[in-house]
Homo-oligomer: A and B are copies of this chain.
Amino acid sequence: MGTTRQEDRTSSTAQRRRELLEAADRVVLREGPGASMNAIAAEAGITKPILYRHFGDKGGLYRALAVRHTDALLASLRAALDAPRDRRERVEATLDTYLAAIEDHPQVYRFLMHPAENSDGAAGNDRGFDVGQHSAPLLRRLGEELAKVIAERLDLGPESEELARVWGHGIVGMMHAAGDWWLRERPCERKQLVTHLADLLWGRLAAAGDRVGGPGF
Chain A positions near chain B (C-beta within 8 angstroms): 81, 84, 86-88, 90-91, 114-117, 126-128, 130-134, 136, 139-140, 143, 149-150, 152-156, 159, 162-163, 165-167, 169-178, 180-182, 187-188, 192-193, 196-197, 199-212, 214-217
A134: chain B residues within 8 A (beta carbon) = 114-116, 134
Judge whether A130 and B128 touch: CB under 8 Å.
yes
The listed residue (B117, B173, B187) touching A175 by CB distance below 8 A is B173
Query: Given A87-B217, A169-B177, A202-B206, are A114 and B133 also a contact pair (CB < 8 Å)?
Result: yes
State the CA gap A77–B178 with chains docked (Å).
Answer: 20
Known: A166-B197, A214-B152, A216-B87. A116 touches B130 (CB 8 A): yes
Q: What residue of chain B has the Cβ atom nearest to residue A214's Cβ?
A: B153
Q: Is the Cβ of A127 less than 8 Å from the Cβ of B126?
A: no
Interfacial chain B residues near A208, Cβ < 8 Å = 154-156
Contact of A173 among B133, B178, B206 (CB under 8 A): B178
CA distance A201 to B203 in the complex (A): 6
Given contacts A154-B208, A165-B181, A166-B188, 20 further A-B contacts (CB under 8 A): A84-B215, A86-B215, A114-B134, A127-B130, A128-B130, A128-B131, A152-B211, A153-B214, A154-B209, A155-B208, A156-B208, A159-B196, A162-B187, A162-B188, A163-B196, A166-B178, A170-B175, A170-B200, A171-B200, A203-B206
Known A-B contacts A133-B114, A217-B87; A172 and B177 likewise in contact (beta carbons under 8 Å)? yes
A171–B174 contact, CB under 8 A? yes
Q: Does the CB pair B206–A136 fall under 8 Å?
A: no
